[in-house]
Amino acid sequence: MKFVILDRDGVINRDSDDFVKSPDEWEAIPGSLEAMAKLTQAGYRVVIATNQSGIERGLFDMDTLNAIHNKMRDALQALGGRIDAIFYCPHTDAANCTCRKPKPGLFLAIAERFDVDLKAVYVVGDSLRDIEAPAALGARPVLVLTGKGQKTYAEHALPEGTLVFDDLAAVGEYLLNA
């Protein structure tokens, strides 16, 4: 099974230091949805793993998060793509939960639900926390330079074997030609 796990903010859509708090604030990064559609059409299962601490912070509620995700799904579906599942952590760092990246909870849950060996999975993120846990679990870390990616690349040592691309469109082309 071909499988890819994507972070949301900074990879698929524009990130905001003030959080994406409504469907109106959600804006796709150029080429990201097209890349996801091409991956879907090539037989990839596309899953999202995203930290959404705005819920615990009271910045938005579950209905709003679902509305944001519905907007993303609808835009992707219009291009012939599909998201197989969205896994999210609603907690802040202070909660010290196991599902907040860089901890492995989201990735372990994805592996269990889809019965997939993470060693064969590319995991795409724009921050160190997006790729640390999957790298430690043996997945294939990928950093994009959108969102926080340029800062991450400049300021941190990346996990061994991390691939770096300009954006999700470039990741999609790589995966489709691999």
Q: DSSP 3-state assignment of 174?
A: helix
3-state secondary structure 95-134: HCCCCCCCCCHHHHHHHHHHCCCHHHCEEEECCHHHHHHH
Is residue 7 part of the annotated active site? The answer reads yes
Helix (H) or strand (E) holding 165: strand 163-165
Q: Which residues of 145-155 are buried (b: 16+ CB within 10 A; e: fewer)?
A: bbbbbeebbee
Set 9, 15, 126, 130: catalytic member? 9
For residues 95 and 56, the answer to whether their CB atoms sit within 8 Å is yes
Is residue 166 part of the annotated active site? The answer reads no
- Round to whole Å and give the CA distance between 94 and 50: 17
Provide the annotated active-site residues.
7, 9
